[in-house]
Amino acid sequence: MYSEPEPNTAERMREAHATVATMLGATANGSHESWGWRGRTLSRPVTTASGEGWLRLVSAPAEKAGGKLWEGPQEAERLMPPAVPRARLRGRHTWTEDEHGYLAELYDRITVPAITTHEPTLRKAPDLDDAWWNGLSTALDAIAAVPSNRVAVRQEYLDRAMPQFLGTPVDTKVPAWTTAHGDLHWANLTGPTLTILDWEGWGTAPAGYDAALLHSYSLLVPDTATEVRQRLGHILDTPVGRFAELVVITELLQTVSRGDNLDLNGPLRARLSELT
């Protein structure tokens, strides 16, 4: 999804990936590499005794290794129902070496590509059929019903950030909470067959959060944004759904203030005007 990091980071991650692959009985399959932000993750297709797999390596400073993000995929494997299509987690291993902590996760390999491959924002309308959209709707309803003490969005953050980034008085109290994937954008969805990827950050969020996030990341393709609103209207076309959109717009406008997602600034503000 991201470009290769600085050479010293790339070399360290490749060595760690090769080491843990051997430990898990996996062999790299081809030369393809999928890098995360600033080399935080490195994933590669692998072959194991039980078939094709996908080996994902996560790195963090040793003192920050562990916690919610590292436990997310394992907890999703344990708690998410069959109605939620995802790559199944076969095994994991954690270790610390020098100042770095590592988490390796071995998944079933998903051969269907992500809808976007280099960023979460949609720039071209995808060709998705009714089965895909119906599957997504069913999956979001199933995720929302999963009990969890994990947290994806905090009320305290909204109390501070919504007035600051929306620029208008707004009631920041969340009207309803449900469980959310927490990062439902186009790079975490595959097509034409649906799989939902990346379960690091799932947890409780304002009801409708996932649908609202997908909609906001669709705003550069108006026809798809309209389709998201239509297909997920039972979530978005409600008071709690509209509040969730304000939450997501807050978060993305904050990223704009940091120099990211700059081309979403105009569409986000236009949508904000429609909602307030």
Domain boundary among 39, 74, 108: 108
CATH number of 68's domain: 3.30.200.20
What are the residues whose beta carbons fall under 8 Å from the beta carbon of 170, sequence distance 6 or more?
Answer: 162, 163, 246, 276
Which tens digits make up the pLDDT trace of 9-18?
A: 999 999 999 9
Report the distance separating Cα 263 and Cα 121, nearest Å: 10
- Give yes or no: residues 77 and 173 share one domain: no
270 and 145, same domain (yes or no) = yes
Which amino acid is it at 204?
Answer: T
Distance CA 50, CA 25 (A): 10
Q: Looking at the structure, do residues 183 and 247 belong to the same domain, yes or no?
A: yes
- pLDDT band with cut points at 50, 70 and 90 for residue 1: low
The pLDDT score that the predictor gives to residue 38 is 85
Q: What share of the chain has pLDDT > 70, as a percent?
A: 100
Whether residue 187 is found in the same domain as residue 91: no
57-69 residue pLDDT tens: 999 999 888 888 7
Question: Over the stretch 76-108, which tens digit does the pLDDT of each residue have?
Answer: 999 999 999 999 999 999 999 999 999 999 999
For residues 245 and 157, state if they share a domain: yes
pLDDT average, residue stretch 123-148? 98
CATH number of the domain residue 255 falls in: 3.90.1200
Residues facing residue 165 across a β-bridge: none
- What is the model's pTM? 0.91
- The residues, any chain, with a CB within 8 Å of residue 249's CB and separated by 6 or more, are 165, 166, 216, 268, 271, 272, 275
Is there a single domain that holds both residue 168 and residue 224?
yes
124 is a domain residue: no
256 and 144 within one domain: yes
Backbone angles phi, psi at 106, to 5 degrees: -105, 120
Domain total for the chain? 2
Q: Which of 59-73, 151-165, 188-202, 262-276 has the lowest mean pLDDT?
A: 59-73
Residues 36 and 135 in one domain: no
- Which structural domain, as residue segments, surrounds residue 80? 7-108
Residue 21 lies in a domain: yes
